[in-house]
Every structure is written in structure tokens, then in C-alpha cells.
Amino acid sequence: MNGVKSWTVTLVFYFLILAVLIANLDGSSSIFGFLPKRVNSSQKPPHLHLQRLGITGPRLLRFFQDNLLEFQDIPPVPGDEQSGISLYYDSFKKYLYEIPHGPPRPLECNPDKSIVAKLTRDVQPIPVHSHNDYWRDLPLFKGIAHGAMSTEADVWLYPKPTSAEAPQDDYILAVGHNEVFLDPVHRTLDKLYTGPLADMLDQVNCVGGHKGGVFYDSPEDTLFFYIDFKSQETHLLYNLLMDKYLKPLADKGYLTYFDLESKELVWNQVTVVLTGDFPRDLGVIDDGEHGYFEDDRRYVFQEASILEPMALEANASVVSTSSFSDLLDKCGYSEKSVLSQGQMDGSLIKCMKSMVTRSHEAGLRTRIWGVPNWPVGFATKLWHQQVEHLGVDLLNVDNLELAQSIF
Ligand SMILES: *[C@@H]1O[C@H](CO)[C@@H](O)[C@H](O)[C@H]1NC(C)=O
């Protein structure tokens, strides 16, 4: 009797396994990556299943990386010029934008299902600058998904101008680290940064009376956006940046500005900071008395120095930056001595803090670049000291995962 019973149990068991296998063959469960996926043109693309997953922030990025091969069969969206950076970037962006098959359609007005919600719901903004952000596998999105309150893009005029007076219509702003490796089709300032920012903000600012930023849970927090001028034709680059790339964001009211009439600083969702070879002359920045766009507003801020926070004209800046080695020099220390102690000692902290405080008194947020990022224990000790003892506002961070784990 017992023999028959156990045979029945075994049979039922095998039958169940077979049923599960068959159910999986239609691909509907293959999102979890357990089983090889069968290509079937009538099946829903896997990213549509993801809309209901509800995971956000770094966990969402990990999920995408772990299941990347699930996305390789998604046909390119007709007319979507965005694709072509990498499978990871392209499929992640499709997920964020919820791009279905067929022609692209306008983004839906639904803050709850917005790109911002998908990226940053339950993500705590942290005082971190996503250093070399444009180098990451997910420019812009990765920093924001980790809660980094600041991002950056190195911009170049493309093609290389032959004269400073060339008409700006001939140029675009390409994003990249090295002039030799620019990709003027996929890696432009609007495709990687200003376009997605406008899309993100449109979706969370479409309901009257609600003002949203890039962080879902902290809609009032601004995103600092450093634009690093790489080309020597500073003036041409600046005009192009303003006319073509920042104007749409300014027109929608998304940019922090200094009101040239009331002398008030008005914070908005994105705060543009110019760094690198930017124009030093406010006459160029404002292009006359009434601001670059003739609306009595200054939408960009020059980066000041922590060493000389008052060197720029009043109200030209909202942030100051210096390198760790310059600050050490000023305090009579060397990087070696800090490394050998494993931290900044009391008198160094006192010296540096007085400089950071001077910036704060001038109304400037602070960032220190070039702080050693290795060994890891030393680097995180210095992060803690910067935030807790110096009062630094934005940590210059390469490893976002590590930074997020300490806050
Ligand atoms: C700078 O801003 C302050 C306060 O917002 C104002 O009192 C001052 O006049 C401004 N200075 C200039 C040069 O705009």
C-alpha cells in the first residue's frame, strides 16, 4: 500500500515540475532569469512586466544589471534616437520612459508613475557630488538613483571650431572626457542631461500647485548640475549652452536663478554651476543689464574657490570648490602626513574648517576634490571628517555605492 502511495506522490511531483517548465516556456516568467528565454514576437517585452515591480534606487540598477540579457531582444523603438549607448543604458531608459512598441508618444502626466518615482522613491538625498558622472554606465540616472545631490558633465564644442567667431548653429555640445573620443550622435548634452532632466521634471510638475524635483521624497531639493567648459572658445560655448541647452529648462522655470532686480536668489529644481574654462566676466554671463534672456534673471553660477571665496563678484556664485592638496598646502600639511595618520588631525581640521566656514559665510556651498579615495577605510574616514567636522556640503565621490552605504 505504502509503495503505491509514494509512487503517486512522485508522479504528482514530476507532473508539477513539468507543468512549471511548460508555463515558463512562453517566456512570461523568464524575467527572473532562471530559464532560457524563448523569443516570441507576440509576447510582451519583459520591461512591461517591470512597471509593477516597484523597486527603486540602487536596487533597481542592480536588478537591471543582473537581468540584462533579458532585454537584448527588445526591438529598437522606431524614431528613438536615444538608443545606441549600451544595452544597459538603452534598456534602462526604455524602462524609465515606459516606451512601448510603436512610435514614441508624449510622456504621461502621472507623478506617481514618473521617471522620478521609479528612480528615487524611498531614496534619501545625500550630500554627494557624482564625480565624472558622464563616465558612468548610466549618466545622470545613476547618481540620482543613489541620491547624489550633484552631478556633472564635461562639455566640448563639436566639431572643433576653426575660429571663435564661427556661427553657433554649426556646433553642438558633446559630453566626454577626452576630445578624441567624443560621440556627437549619442553623447550630447541634451541627450544625456538636459533632455532627460526636462522630461523628468515635466512629469512631476504637470499637476497644478505641485512643484517637484528629481528626488521623489524631497521635492524641494535642488540638483546641482556642474557644466565643465572644456573648449577654449569659451564665449561661443557659453552662448550655445544658454541658447540651445539651458533655455528650455529656464523657460519652464526649472532653473535656480538670481533675480537681478530684487537681488534675491530663487532656488529651483536644477542649479547650474559653471566650472572649467567658463567666462569670468559677468558682462558675458548676463550679456547686458537685464540678464542673458532679458528677463532680469541670472540662471548660471560661477564656481568660486574655497581658498578665495570672495574673489568673484557678489551673487555670481552659489558654490565654492578647491582641491584637497591646495587646502593642505595652505594649512602646511602634506597628503603623506594625513595618510600616515589615517585621518586629518585636530589642527588640520581647525585650519580647513575656518576656510569652509568663510565660504559658508559668503553664502556658498562647498566641495573638495582630489581627496584620496584609497585605501577604502582611509577614504571613508575622510568622508566622515569632511561632513561631520568640516561641514563640507558636497562630497566629491566616485564610488556611489560606498558613499550611499555610509549615510
Ligand atoms: C547680492 O545680494 C544681496 C542680497 O541678496 C544684495 O543685498 C546685494 O545688493 C547683491 N549685490 C549685487 C552686486 O548684486
pLDDT of 169 reads 85
Give the closest residue (by CA) to ligand 1 atom 9.
263
Give the closest residue (by CA) to ligand 1 atom 2.
263
Classified as helix, coil or strand, 145 is helix
What is the 223 CA–ligand 1 centroid distance (Å)?
Answer: 23
What is the 22 CA–ligand 1 centroid distance (Å)?
Answer: 71
What is the 301 CA–ligand 1 centroid distance (Å)?
Answer: 14
Q: For the chain, which residues make up each domain, given as ranges? A: 2-38, 42-106, 124-302, 306-407
Alpha carbons within 13 A on the beta-carbon side of 8: 5
Res 98 pLDDT > 80 = no
pLDDT of 48 reads 58
Give the closest residue (by CA) to ligand 1 atom 1.
315
What is the 201 CA–ligand 1 centroid distance (Å)?
Answer: 29
Res 150 pLDDT > 60 = yes
Helix ranges restricted to H, 212-345: 234-240, 247-251, 282-286, 324-331, 335-341
Give 13-42 pLDDT, tens digit per residue.
566 555 555 444 444 444 444 444 444 444
What is the 360 CA–ligand 1 centroid distance (Å)?
Answer: 16
Give 288-342 pLDDT, tens digit per residue.
999 999 999 999 999 999 999 999 999 999 999 999 999 999 999 999 999 999 9
Give the closest residue (by CA) to ligand 1 atom 6.
263
In the block, cell 507623478 appears at 111
Q: Give the distance from CA 281 to its chain's centroid.
A: 28
Give the closest residue (by CA) to ligand 1 atom 10.
263
Q: How far apart are the C-alpha atoms of 394 and 129, rounded to whole Å?
A: 6
Q: How far apart are the C-alpha atoms of 23 and 330, rounded to whole Å?
A: 68
Give the closest residue (by CA) to ligand 1 atom 12.
314
Q: Mean pLDDT lowest for which of 11-15, 105-109, 207-211?
A: 11-15
pTM, two decimals, is 0.86
Tell me the average pLDDT of the chain.
87
Q: How confident is the model at residue 68 (pLDDT cuts 50, 70, 90)?
A: confident
What is the 314 CA–ligand 1 centroid distance (Å)?
Answer: 6
pLDDT of 19 reads 56
C-alpha cell at 122: 524611498
Q: How far apart are the C-alpha atoms of 245 and 247, rounded to whole Å?
A: 6
Ramachandran area for residue 363 (φ above 0: left; ψ -120 to 50: alpha; else beta): left
Name, in order, each residue with C-beta under 8 angstroms of 224's C-beta and a sequence gap of 6 or more: 129, 149, 150, 151, 271, 273, 319, 365, 394
- Closest ligand 1 atom to residue 265 Cα is 5
Mutate which of 257, 258, 263 for ligand 1 pocket (most atoms within 8 A of beta carbon): 263
pLDDT of 39 reads 43
What is the 315 CA–ligand 1 centroid distance (Å)?
Answer: 6
Q: Ligand 1: which residues within 6 Å by Cβ?
A: 263-264, 314-315
Q: How confident is the model at residue 10 (pLDDT cuts 50, 70, 90)?
A: low
pLDDT of 30 reads 41
What is the 197 CA–ligand 1 centroid distance (Å)?
Answer: 30
pLDDT of 165 reads 74
What is the 126 CA–ligand 1 centroid distance (Å)?
Answer: 29
- Closest ligand 1 atom to residue 260 Cα is 14
Hey, how many other C-beta atoms are within 10 angstroms of the C-beta on 81?
10
Give the closest residue (by CA) to ligand 1 atom 3.
263
Res 256 pLDDT > 70 = yes
- Closest ligand 1 atom to residue 315 Cα is 1
- Closest ligand 1 atom to residue 313 Cα is 13
**Of the candidates 83, 147, 86, which has an alpha carbon nearest to the alpha carbon of residue 116?**
147
Name, in order, each residue with C-beta under 8 angstroms of 405's C-beta and a sequence gap of 6 or more: none
Q: How far apart are the C-alpha atoms of 127 and 134, rounded to whole Å?
A: 19
